[in-house]
Structure 1
């Protein structure tokens, strides 16, 4: 039986939670049609990367925006990893909300913050390891991936997949992705990177979401197109493809 994981490369509209959530649902439905078992969205995908809005838009697992996404996860038996600010009672954390096929939602909080983020966010304190379909997935968010000790935890937790929602600009794309590809080889893991593809928070993302295994690039987006970057495992080998999303169902920034 094959297993497929995908990075969702889509735009996010600043602060428009309900619009972005509907777009996520459309992408989830398309991913299901492509046979995807686990879908990874970019950093802060539900709100856009908007630090100044994060406190006012902080989410909990009980937020109404997750109700329909959880229903989809159950209906499609898919794990859906979406980005959003996490309500903590103090400054929010940058989170990955992990919606499981049971409908249960868990949260990973970004451990390593970028310069300037500490004014708006607080870091998390522990890794999150996700078990799915014979794989163990270690979650990461953007700056986490620039700290080698974070990826090295794949060995500690015996993870076979390292999945990150990110916001990477063109200037940072070369060194950041070289590091990610290096992790795939060094730790013998599949590395999944889901990037934004439209301006957010004053940054111009590079797009070019990608997936690497220990041999190199499995699949990648060419530029800023809205798409699914998919890796499917057959006979212990990963095979990649990139599928365009229906742009009439994705919001225009």
Structure 2
């Protein structure tokens, strides 16, 4: 798939394999700001972080009101400034009115935050939050990007719905641990080939849920070939050019 007509044909993306400190929002925000600055300096126009990148994946954290974010949250002002015209996708527990979600927040320095809730919940997540209603699609430099969160990628209809909504890119924020490497490649390649999409995935790195990360953050072309991939399982910024 080539770039959209009438806009730049190349979209430079960064998938961030970040390693958050569970429950330390302040430290995670500082590190997020630093990583965004690095990715912007490298030319990235879309910067995607993993699932729950601002808190770490620990559902028990939902008992602490400090772990919950909201659209327009002042704590994200530094990330918005660091974006410097690029678009940043971070993962958070989100409260919007009476609704609670595991969500991606789409940030830049010139527009209101966009909320992209997780559609398909897994295990105990349903005791803490409610599901979203399908993929959120946002525009970045004229490219339409469908957003997914981890378990969403297990359902082909999620990527199909994103494509039907005009997406040219399917971007997943995820948590895959050691032993789940085949899930990463299988799901991202299937979404790419079945729907003619560029696919990108940002995985939590380090140790999560007491297990080693599977790593594997990267990008896949519409023919299923690997365009870029993390070298290891710890923190890494993986860049790719979509065209």
Q: Which moved more, 1:8-17 or 1:218-227?
A: 218-227
CA distance in 1, matches of 2:94, 2:228: 31
Native 8 Å contact 1:52 1:120 kept in 2: no
Q: Which moved more, 1:37-46 or 1:217-226?
A: 217-226
Q: Residue deviations 1:115-168, cap 9 Å, x none?
A: 222122221124211011121000000000001100111331121000011000
Q: Which has the larger displacement, 142-151 or 174-183?
A: 174-183
TM-score, normalised with respect to structure 2: 0.90
Specify the SS of the correspondent of 1:124.
coil
2 CA distance for matches of 1:101 and 1:230?
21
Matching residue of 1:64: 74
CA distances 1:190-215 after superposition (whole Å, capped 9, x unpaired): 10100011123434321121210123
Distance 2:234 2:23 in 1: 21
RMSD over equivalenced CA pairs, Å: 1.6
Provide the secondary structure at the position in 1 that maps to 2:161. Answer: helix
What is the CA–CA distance in structure 1 between the aligned matches of 2:136 and 2:78, rounded to whole Å? 23
Q: Which residue of 2 aligns with 1:53?
A: 61
C-alpha displacement of 1:103: 4.1
SS in 2 for 1:176: helix
User: What TM-score do the two structures reach when normalised by structure 1?
Assistant: 0.86
Unaligned runs of 5+ in 1: 237-253
> Aligned equivalents of 1:143 and 1:50: distance in 2?
16
Which of 179, 186, 191 is the aligned partner of 1:183? 191
Aligned pair 1:223/2:224, yes or no? Answer: no
Q: What corresponds to 2:151 in structure 1?
A: 143
Q: Which moved more, 1:168-177 or 1:78-87?
A: 168-177
Question: Which whole-Å CA distance do the structure 2 matches of 1:125 and 1:195 have between them?
Answer: 23
Q: Is the 8 A contact 2:201 2:219 kept in 1?
A: yes
Secondary structure of the 1:87 match is: strand
Is the contact made by 2:135 and 2:162 (CA closer than 8 Å) also made in structure 1? Answer: no
Partners of 1:159 and 1:3 lie apart in 2 by 14
How does 1:1-253 map onto structure 2 within 5 Å? 1=8, 2-56=10-64, 57-73=67-83, 76-89=84-97, 92-215=100-223, 216-233=225-242, 236=243
- C-alpha distance in 2, partners of 1:207/1:165? 12
Give me the whole-angstrom Cα distance separating, in 1, the residues matched to 2:63 and 2:99. 7
> Matched residue of 1:208: which SS?
coil
Structure 2 CA distance for partners of 1:86 and 1:124, relative to 1, 3 Å: same
**Unaligned segments of structure 2, at least 5 residues:** 1-7
Moved more, 13-22 or 110-119: 110-119
